[in-house]
Amino acid sequence: MKKLRIHYFQHVASEGLGSIEEWISASSHSLTSTRFFESTGLPEISDIDWLIVMGGSMSVHDEEQFPWLSEEKQFIRKAVEAGKTVLGICLGSQLISSALGARVYQNKNKEIGWFDIELTPFVQSDNLFSDMGSALKVFHWHGDTFDLPENAIHLASSEACKNQAYVYNGKVLAMQFHLETTLNSLQLMIDNGRMELKSGKYVQAEKEILANKHLIKSNRKIMFTLLDRLAE
């Protein structure tokens, strides 16, 4: 496998790479970062092969409070146009969608906890999620959603959220859910977002979320498979 130059965007201290960092280390890829809560410096597009955009508690529209969001979206757009592999998770998927001209808005329901996603028929014609069956139970923590960018291929939906994942131009993967979750990152998300764990049809209590921590292992396996396939 080619050694990749991977750069990632982190928006809040509690949402890092999770298990993705294990995959990067095991594959001996190089890793750099922009942690917007510490510094807003961006790399040169020519210096990276991959861009990974992580989650966060803010909205893509919060540019007045977080002015760097505007530059971040411009950078994401340029990375896509330059043919880089781009992976977005939760807020990251919403930022990619906004950068590609799609509408991002508040979903009818928040979705927090372990819920099934249904894979669309398009999955069978795309290599990324092939051979994974028709449904996966994954971890969610999101309140916003997006319309699909023009020419994007819809990959997954859930009962609470129609647009859960898509692939764009074969090299851009956007996912609302958190396959990268580790036990540590799960606890950090709970500790920093406990106020959101209020009763709701698609919001699980802390006890229920932690009772399903055994699913972290299967989510990690799916995450590694997707990363391997993106790297092929």
The pLDDT, as a whole number, for residue 122 is 84
The pLDDT, as a whole number, for residue 58 is 96
Task: Give the residues of the chain that fall short of pLDDT 50.
Answer: none
The pLDDT, as a whole number, for residue 123 is 81
The pLDDT, as a whole number, for residue 59 is 97
The pLDDT, as a whole number, for residue 11 is 98
The pLDDT, as a whole number, for residue 159 is 97
pLDDT tens, 99-131?
Answer: 999 999 999 999 999 999 999 988 876 788 988
What are the angstrom distances between the C-alpha of 40 and each of 43, 71, 98, 173, 201? 10, 9, 19, 24, 37
Indicate the pairing of strand 172-175 with strand 165-168: antiparallel
148: left (phi over 0), alpha (psi -120 to 50) or beta: beta
What CATH number does residue 209 fall under? 3.40.50.880
- H helix runs in 36-194, sequence order: 68-81, 91-99, 183-193
DSSP assignment string, 56-75 = -SS-TT-TTT-THHHHHHHH
The pLDDT, as a whole number, for residue 204 is 97
What are φ and ψ of residue 117, in 5° steps? -110, 145
The verdict on pTM exceeding 0.75 is yes
Domain with 217 in it: 5-231
The pLDDT, as a whole number, for residue 167 is 96
In the chain, how many domains are there?
1
The pLDDT, as a whole number, for residue 4 is 97
The pLDDT, as a whole number, for residue 198 is 86
The pLDDT, as a whole number, for residue 2 is 86
